[in-house]
Structure formats: C-alpha cells, structure tokens
Amino acid sequence: MSDAKSIEGDFIEQAASIILENVSNEQFGVSELAAAMSMSRSNLLRKVKKYTRLSPSLFIRQVRLKKGMEMLRQTSLTVSEVSYQVGFGSTSYFIKCFREYYGYPPGEVGKRELVQKNPETNSSKPFPWQIIIGALLALLVVSVLLLFKKMPPDAEHEPEKSIAVLPFKNESSDSTNVYFINGLMESTLNNLQKIKGLRVISRTSMEKYRNTNKAIPEIAKELNVSYFVEGSGQKIGDQVLLNIQLIEASSDKHIWSEQYSRKVGNVFALQNEVATKIAHAIEVIVTPAELAQIEKRPTKSIEAYDYFLQGLDPFLTRTKEGLEKAISLFEKAIDHDPQFSLAYADIAIAYYFLDLYQTEKQYTEQINNYADKALLYDSKSAESLISKAFYYLHTKEYRLALPHLEKALEYNPNSTLAIQMLADFYSYQVPNTAKYLEYALKGMQLDIAANDSITKSYIYLQLSNAFIQTGFIEEAVKYINLSLDHNQENYYAPYLKAFILYARDRNLEQTKQLLLREWNMDTSRLDILQDVAKVYYLQENYDSAFFYFQKFVKAREINGLDIYAQEDLKIGRVYERMGLQEEAAKFFNAFSAYCEKDQSIYKSANLAMKYAHEGKIDQAIEQLKIFSNTDNYQYWFLLLENDPLMKPLKKHPEFDGIIQKIEDRFWENQAQLRKSLEEKGLI
C-alpha cells in the first residue's frame, strides 16, 4: 500500500510541478501536459481521475488557483495581474473559478488574512529572506500534494454539485390530492433549477423512478448525480404536511431531513424554505439574484395556484388532449389572478405545441398575446421569456427569439426547454456548430434519463451529429453506435453513420455503398437520394449523378417541396454536363436567388462556388478569403477543395494558402471548443 501511495504522490507531484512551470501560459492545457509527461491524453485522463477524482482540465485549473491564492497572500499584485500570471486569459473567469473553489472572491483574500492573523505573529521578528523563500517552496510542494491526496468531496464542483428530486409520494387517503403533492415536487425542483452552481436533473427524467425498486446508488449511477431529494406529503383541508429528506448518493446516507406542517396559504414560504435549506446543506453558493428568483411568489391567490397545479400534469404530457385540458385550467387560474404571469406563459407555450406540426397555423395571435401578458407581469421569468421566444420561432423571426432564450437560461440555468430550443436554434435556424454541440451536451446531462430507448436513440443521434459537425470524430462514432444500440430501427442513424465513417476513413466508395443500401431499403428517402447523387458527382461520374439527381428533382417538383436549394448549383452542373443547357440554367438561376437571400455563415462559401462556375476566378477567391475568417462552420466545409466546382480555382496562387487557412482555423476553433467544454464539465 505504501508503494502505491508513493507512486501516486510522485505522479501528482510531477504533474503539479510541470503545471507550475507553465502556469502563466494560458494555452498550457491537457494536451500540453500529456506531451510534457510523455503520455497519451487518455492515459493522463485515467491516471488523474484515479488519483484525484478530477478531470485533467480541473486538475490544471486547481493548481493555477492554488498558485493564485499564494500570490494574492504574499504579493501586492492586483487580482487582474494575478489572474494573468496564473494563466487565466479573463479576469472575470478567474474570479468566477476562485469563488467556486474557495467560497469567496479573490478581492477578499487580504481582508480575510487580516482577520485571521495572530497578533503574536505580527510582533515577531522577520526571518532572513533565504529561510522565507525555502519555507515557501516547501509549503508549495506540500500543499499541492495535500490538495490532491486529501481532496474534499466537493472540490471538483461537478458532478458533486448535482441533484435529482425524486417524485414525491402522496400519503393522503384522497387520491385527488396527487396533483397538489406533485406541485410541491415541481416547485422544489423549479427553485433548485434557478441556482447556477447546481446541476438539476429534469422532472421528466425523474418521473420514470416514481415506482422504482432501485436503490439510490444505482439511480445515482444512471443519472451521474451526487444528491437526491425525497419527499412525501398530504393535504388535509387547509393543512399541508410535508416530509423532506436530502440523501448523499454515494453513501445512501440522509444528511438532512425535516417535517413541516403548514397552512395551505403558507405553501410558497414552505417551498422557498425547502430549496434554501437544501442549497445550504450541500454548500452550494446561492447569489442574491438567485435568491430573489427563488423567493418570488408566483401568485397572490391560493385558488389560482390550485388550478395552476391541476393543469401541470396534463401540460407536461404535450399531447393534444393534455394541452387543451391544461389551457382550460390555466385560464381558470387567470380568472382568480389576472396578473398570474406563469399561467399566461404556459398557455402560450401550450398553444405553440398545439400548432407545432400544423401546416396552417391557427394560434399565432394567442401565442403572442399570452406571451406578452406573461412578460408584462414578470419580465424576469424564464417561462415568460421562453413563451415569447416561441412566438418568434412560430413566425420564423429566428434572430428575435435568440435573446429571449439566452435570457431565460440566465434566470433558469437548468431549463431543459430553453437548452433544447437553443440546440435546435444553432443547428438549423442560425448555424453555429460550437454552440450546437454545447447545448446538445447540456441537454443530455439534464434530460437523457427521461426517455425510452427510442427517444434516447434520437437524442444520441443529435449529439453524434453535433460532434461530427465540430470534427470530434471519435465521439461521433461513439454516440452514433449508442443511437443504433438503443434502436436498430432509427430512421436516420445509419444515414448519418455513413458520413461519420467517411470523416474517419475518407473512403468515398464505402460511403456511396452505405448510402445506396439505405436508399434501396426506402426509395422515398429524398435526403439519401440527393446525397447518393452528390457522391457520384464528387466522383465526377456524371451519368450516375444525373440518374439520381433526376429522380430527386422530379420528386421535389411533384410534391412541391422547397428543400436542398443549396444543392441546385451541383444539380445544374450535372445537367449541363449531360447537355441539358436550358434545364441547367434554371438551376443556376435558382442557386443565384438562394445566395441573394442567404444570411448564414455559409454565404461566402456558396458565392465562391457560384463565381468559380461562372469563371469569375478573382471574385471566387475573394469570397473564399471571407469564408476563411469565419468561425464555427461544419466539418464538411473542410472538403470544399474536393468539389469539382473548385477546379478552376486551384491554379490561382492564393488558393492553397486559403484552403490551408480554412483548415487551420477549423482545428484551432475545435481545440478551443474542447478546452471550453472540458472546463464546463461537458466532456
């Protein structure tokens, strides 16, 4: 055992020493530490996790923070100066990390040192400077070793500061009171969700455990959480009885419990007290702004609140019948309190979901009116902001939706609805691959357990798609396989897997065969059909490309579909090669019109191909230059140079340099994204 401890100590001491040698280098991260220690990233990850229970990025950060604390105590440097000297590129980020680790901001270090200083120490004679320096060096080594050998359980912040609220049990003999007990669970959950320093699992994820026989440690492993809240209660007349227990997941020990007996009229104060006591028990920081959100009373009317609670269960089903029933109950709540913001917001959201898949929208005016009322009575409510964002998504005013969704996440950092909508937003409406991946990962952390195998399969599919778009090929392979493991019949997973394997193997013939196999299983799949044609086009097999593009164009026209307009230039090129000049001209004109309307980050890349086809080489090169300064584009745009349309540009003296810049910028962005995701505990 002592030999094992010695090996552990030597490894941690060596790693900490290397980090300290490079502490001022902001770019010194996991890859650099692995290289300095002559080991792979995966081996470094395994060893650091084993010895410290930290990810390598958190290990590096905490060495930096310890050094920062030492400098603040022993020098006259400002917080800003120290933050840069310990490798934080942002002072505000240093302050945030410092506060999370030490429990108070770096600006208070001097004050706390004065309070804690022993008067006898002040009057003692100073040591010679050689002794002081020697002592400090010894202290530094010892403190680093002690830091990682005796790391407190909450030092990593994630997943220790994570919690799940199990469905509360109704102990009343009256089964009609179930909605009220569920409402107490919902409010406890909602209040905890408003704390940024806490990861809170969604209600839908917890519903599957309502009647489970699984032990707490088993559920904890499935959800990757550290604490659980159990509750049971009953409503007897105007009296509420509630039992609450806080459980540490790893040990299954109760670390706090309380019994409450309150009048129904005091239910809001009860809900707030429960949330704040839980936060205190697990030692999570609650800011004054978060506390104000928690203490906010949703309505002055108990009658209104009762109707609102009755509407929650059908509202969360998202079925037509459930949503319509919820709207009726929420409207009754508003009759008792015409300023009940949350009820207005949920009515707007319910109407949005009722209209979501309708070709002809029926509820546009209702969504807008109820969302405006919600904001009027509470502009700092996540639900109010989400309801207005849904109106803008409903009317396709996407850029107006974004600030509302982002603000909603400020007020409720654990809102799965806001996170899901932001992932979709950055995937489809306003493409940004980095943000798409970040929100997809956040969503999975909070909500993956909510779903059956089929739904999980599609969540993993989306995550795999987000990973491949950002060039995380190994991760994309992992999650596309998980998608297929959960549902072999997933409609899109084999299709996406064909492209992920191409990214890994760069075997275009293999990709074509995989796509053809999927298309032959369902020849109505226009998404696969146009990609089969495109692979033949990339191989410059124009006869076969024409065969499949012609089928695609015919189906698109017959069904009146406005899809894949960005591919019209390629289609036109194929038709032109087949001697169909008049038809080709229509596709070229359609693509020009598409470029004029295109407001995405890909406009310059599309214009480069358009100008290249038209023989306007200098204009094409200029557009490529513009694209080379773009960030967060899809991995597939690294393959631009392989497009036959790019051939006329290859002789231009600047072409190779621009293509290299596009590739370099992509991988630089990916490295920064990886670092950011690691720091946030998302990968």
Residues 141, 14 share a domain: yes
Secondary structure of residue 240 in the 3-state scheme: strand
Do 136 and 92 reside in the same domain of the chain?
yes
| Among candidate residues 441, 461, 495, the one where a domain is terminated | 495
CATH number (domain holding residue 448):
1.25.40.10
My answer on whether 87 and 46 are in the same domain is yes
The CATH number of the domain holding residue 120 is 1.10.10.60
User: Roughly what angle, to the nearest 10 degrees, separates helices 320-336 and 302-317?
Assistant: 170
Give me the phi and psi of 195, to 5 degrees please: -95, 115
The answer to the question of residue 186 being in a domain is yes
605 within a domain of the structure (yes/no): yes
Closest CA to 478 of 466, 454, 460, 494: 460
Residue 578 in domain:
no
Spatial separation of the C-alpha atoms in residues 468 and 488, rounded to whole Å:
20
Say what the pLDDT of residue 3 is.
Answer: 52
Backbone angles phi, psi at 68, to 5 degrees: -60, -45
Contact 32, 19 (CB under 8 A): no
Tokens for 247?
């459980």
Distance CA 186, CA 180 (A): 10
Close Cβ partners of 180 (under 8 Å, ≥ 6 residues apart):
235, 240, 306, 309
**Residue 539 phi, psi (nearest 5):** -80, 0
Q: Are residues 266 and 286 in the same domain?
A: yes
Could you tell me which residues are beta bridge partners of residue 232? 169, 243
The predicted structure's pLDDT at residue 51: 81
Measure the CA–CA gap between 508 and 535, rounded to whole angstroms: 7
d(CA 640, CA 486): 34
- Does residue 583 lie within any of the structural domains? no
107 token code pair = 């600006």
Q: Are 449 and 459 in contact (CB under 8 A)?
A: no
Helix (DSSP H) and strand (DSSP E) numbers for the chain: 33, 6
The answer on 234 and 355 residing in a single domain is: no
Angle CA 468–474–476, to nearest 5: 35
Contact 278, 246 (CB under 8 A): yes
Task: Give yes or no: residues 7 and 77 share one domain.
Answer: yes
Assigned domain for 349 exists: yes
d(CA 552, CA 535): 14
Residue type, 643: D
What pLDDT is attached to residue 134?
39
Q: Are strands 253-263 and 239-248 parallel, antiparallel or unpaired?
A: antiparallel
In this structure, the answer to whether residues 326 and 428 fall within a common structural domain is no
DSSP letter (8 states) at residue 173: S
Measured CA to CA, the distance from residue 325 to residue 303 in angstroms comes to 18
pLDDT computed for residue 111 by the predictor: 61
Tell me, yes or no, whether 288 and 329 share the same domain.
no
What gap in Å lies between CA 404 and CA 407, rounded to an integer? 5
Indicate the SS3 state at residue 262.
strand
Q: How many domains does the chain have?
A: 5
Distance CA(403)–CA(588), nearest Å, equals: 36
Contact 341/353 with Cβ under 8 angstroms?
no
For residue 159, whether the previous peptide bond is cis, meaning omega lies within 30 degrees of 0, is yes
Burial track 430-445 (b if 16+ CB lie within 10 A, e otherwise): bbbbbbbbbbbbbbbb
Structural domain boundaries enclosing 144: 2-149
Residues in the chain predicted with pLDDT less than 50, given as ranges, are: 1-2, 116-160
DSSP secondary structure code for residue 169 in this structure: E
Domain-embedded: residue 180: yes
Q: 150-163 in b/e burial notation, b at 16+ Cβ within 10 A? A: ebeeebbbbbbbbb
Q: Is 372 helix (H, G, I), strand (E, B) or coil?
A: helix
Alpha-carbon distance 160 to 329, whole Å? 39
Q: What is the pLDDT of residue 630?
A: 92
What is the spatial distance between Cα 519 and Cα 529, in angstroms, rounded to a whole number? Answer: 7
Q: What is the CA radius of gyration of the chain?
A: 29
Domain boundary among 149, 183, 208: 149
Helices (H), 117-262: 119-123, 129-149, 178-193, 203-207, 216-223
Shared-domain flag, residues 247 and 231: yes
Residue 21 is encoded by which pair of tokens? 């040698």
**423 occurs within a structural domain:** yes
CB contact at 8 A, 226 and 248: yes
Verify that 178 and 204 share a domain, yes or no: yes
Give the number of residues written for the chain: 683
Give the span between the Cα atoms of 649 and 1, in whole angstroms.
66
Residue 147 confidence (pLDDT) = 40
Residue 125, SS3 per DSSP: coil
With respect to residue 683, please indicate whether it lies within any of the assigned structural domains.
yes
Which of these three, 440, 472, 495, is where a domain ends?
Answer: 495
CA dihedral defined by 23, 26, 27, 29, rounded to 10 degrees? 50
Read off the pLDDT of residues 552-608 as tens digits, 9 standing for 90 and up: 999 999 988 888 999 999 999 999 999 999 999 999 999 999 999 888 899 999 999
* Best CA proximity match to 241, nearest among 301, 302, 180, 187: 180
Do 143 and 6 share a structural domain? yes
- Both 63 and 40 in a single domain? yes
